[in-house]
Structure 1
Amino acid sequence: ILVQASRVFRTLFGEAPPGQAIPIGDIEPATFRELLRYMYADRITVTLKNAVDVLYGARKYQLWTLTEICQNFLRLKLTEADVLNVFEANRRYELAWVNRICLGIICDNPIQAFDDECFWKLSGKSVELIALRQVM
Structure 2
Amino acid sequence: MSVSSFREGLKESKLLGCVCEGCDNLMLPPRMICNKCGSTNLKEHCFDGKGTIKTKTTIYVPLTKFQDLSPYTVGIIELDEGPSITGMILGEIDKIKIGVKVEAVFLDEGDGKILAFKLVD
Tell me, yes or no, whether TM beats 0.5.
no
Larger relative CO (CA 8 A, sep 6+): 1 or 2? 2
TM-score tier by shorter-chain length is under 0.3
Q: TM-score, normalised by structure 2?
A: 0.24
Q: TM-score by structure 1 length?
A: 0.22
Q: Which has the higher helix share?
A: 1
